[in-house]
């Protein structure tokens, strides 16, 4: 069998498959269905300094080959995540976990990252400067190189764990933003977050979701994600975690050939709770099909 392991920012992973933040809760919900230790790691639900109820409902709209969500970073706040969620997680997941962090100010990001950085089970900090579902935060930091770099510098000052900056596809030049984050000290780049989308109820003549617009995800965005991963991976000298429409083992291999060291699986987990496990299970056969002995050998294979 081919070797599935990869090294992400100095941390060895059994395989490159990572359920994406917002699609896997805090892990223990999925642990009731299968042993989630088969995964490389997972990125837990986006965490903010203070508790958030999220956006008004309805928050979800179905689309062809995807979905739109505007959950709005609903979470119990970092203090509760540390005191309640992480201890429950530790009982069912025995690997370093990726902590996804959002904020509404540079100070928010730094505060939350500093708190989570002190937790033994946190392996990486995935700093989300790209959420399209909240007003006055998230994506507003990820749409300019200067703002993204400012968040990166603030987090790096307080963090000892590797810092991954999660970028938005809703920009004109994603490469300049990625390079600014690298220059500010980022240890890696995660991309892409959801694209901005909208659906309209024709009978009511109103937007389907209460937030009007939300994050479009699913297989339809995969080619855009591959293109952006390829562009960024060829422009920076730090690892890239690729995501966006990934739903099969073949997608993982394609994303890695584009330049991703590891690959996140998002909306597919909401369609099939076993999606990430199936991808891990299917990888050896896909590797054999394409004569791949080690997955780490194909990172950035396409020039």
Q: Is 131 a catalytic residue?
A: yes
List the one residue out of 88, 103, 101, 126 whose CA is nearest residue 11. 126
**pLDDT tens across 117-127, in order?**
999 999 999 99
On average, the pLDDT of the chain sits at: 92
| pTM of the predicted structure, to 2 decimals | 0.94
**Cα–Cα distance between 58 and 212 in angstroms, integer?**
10
**Cα–Cα distance between 67 and 269 in angstroms, integer?**
12
Half-sphere exposure at residue 263, Cβ-oriented, CA atoms within 13 angstroms: 37
Of 4-13, 17-26, 30-39, 65-74, the one with minimum mean pLDDT is 65-74
Confidence band, pLDDT 50/70/90 cuts, at residue 132: very low
Catalogue all structural domains in the chain, each as residue range(s) with its CATH number: 6-298 (3.20.20.70)
Q: Which of 38, 92, 113, 131 is catalytic?
A: 131
List the one residue out of 116, 120, 112 whose CA is nearest residue 90. 120
Of 87-96, 124-133, 149-158, 275-284, the one with minimum mean pLDDT is 124-133
- Is the pLDDT at 59 greater than 90? The verdict is no
For residues 140 and 265, the model is more confident at: 265
Determine the distance from the C-alpha atom of residue 161 to the mean position of all C-alpha atoms in its chain, rounded to a whole number: 17
Q: What is the per-residue pLDDT for 70?
A: 82
Q: Average pLDDT, stretch 16-27?
A: 95
Cα angle for residues 254, 219, 162 (degrees, 5° grid): 60
Residue reference for tokens 């904020």:
103
- β-pairing, 262-265 with 206-207? unpaired
């Amino acid at each position: 069998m081919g070797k599935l392991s990869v090294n992400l920012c100095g941390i060895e992973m059994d395989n490159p498959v990572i359920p994406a933040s917002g699609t896997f809760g805090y892990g223990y919900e999925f642990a009731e269905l299968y042993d989630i230790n088969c995964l490389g790691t997972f990125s837990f639900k986006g965490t903010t300094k203070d508790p958030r109820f999220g956006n008004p409902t309805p928050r979800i709209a179905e689309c062809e080959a995807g979905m739109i969500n505007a959950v709005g970073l609903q979470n119990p706040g970092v203090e509760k995540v540390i005191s309640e969620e992480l201890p429950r997680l530790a009982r069912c997941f025995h690997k370093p976990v990726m902590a996804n962090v959002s904020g509404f100010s540079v100070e928010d990001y730094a505060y939350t990252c500093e708190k989570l950085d002190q937790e033994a089970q946190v392996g990486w900090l995935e700093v989300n400067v790209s959420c399209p579902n909240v007003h006055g935060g998230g994506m507003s930091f990820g749409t300019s190189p200067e703002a993204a770099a400012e968040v990166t510098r603030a987090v790096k000052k307080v963090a000892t764990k590797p810092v991954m900056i999660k970028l938005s596809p809703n920009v004109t030049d994603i490469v300049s933003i990625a390079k600014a984050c690298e220059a500010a000290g980022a240890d890696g780049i995660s991309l892409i977050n959801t694209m901005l989308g909208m659906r309209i109820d024709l009978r009511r003549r109103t937007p389907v979701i209460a937030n009007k617009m939300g994050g479009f995800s699913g297989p339809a965005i995969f080619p855009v994600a591959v293109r952006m991963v390829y562009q960024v991976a060829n422009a920076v000298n730090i690892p890239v975690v690729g995501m966006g429409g990934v739903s099969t083992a073949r997608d993982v291999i394609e994303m890695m050939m584009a330049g991703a060291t590891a690959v996140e699986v998002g909306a597919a987990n909401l369609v099939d709770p076993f999606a990430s496990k199936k991808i891990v299970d299917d990888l050896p056969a896909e590797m054999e099909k394409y004569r791949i002995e080690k997955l780490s050998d194909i990172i950035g294979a396409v020039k």
